[in-house]
Amino acid sequence: MPKMTFIERDGRPKTVEAPSGLSVLEIAHRNDIDIEGACEGSLACSTCHVVIDDAWYDRLDEASEDEEDMLDLAFGLTKTSRLGCQIILTEELDGLTVKLPGETRNMLLE
């Protein structure tokens, strides 16, 4: 089964099984990774913001315009930022590494 690594906010890596067809957000939730996902993956917030490891960023499908709009609201945006709900794991992404940003901004609660 494919695996992926989350770099937690304290810098510790956590490698987990990453079934193909699930989003990074779903995999995080299944493995008690601290990603909120306030809109439950409906592309209406930026609380599942992750930073993709440089080595993996170009292997992902491009972000949609809607995802780009939500990313504009993310705290600590980087050039390799993506929303975890929009990245679907495939066999080709076995080994994907993502970092959790230091903070998130939940615009649904503001």
**Burial of 58 per CB tally in 10 Å (0-12, 13-18, 19+):** exposed
pLDDT at 105: 52
Summarize pLDDT for 42-69 with one digit per residue, the tens: 999 999 999 999 999 999 999 999 999 9
Contacts of 79 (CB under 8 A, 6+ apart): none
pLDDT at 89: 96
User: What is this structure's pTM?
Assistant: 0.91
**CB–CB of 33/104 below 8 Å?**
no
In 16-103, which ranges are continuous DSSP H helix? 24-30, 54-57, 65-71
CATH superfamily of 3-99: Beta-grasp domain (3.10.20.30)
Whether the per-residue pLDDT at 20 is higher than 60: the answer is yes
Q: How confident is the model at residue 75 (pLDDT cuts 50, 70, 90)?
A: confident
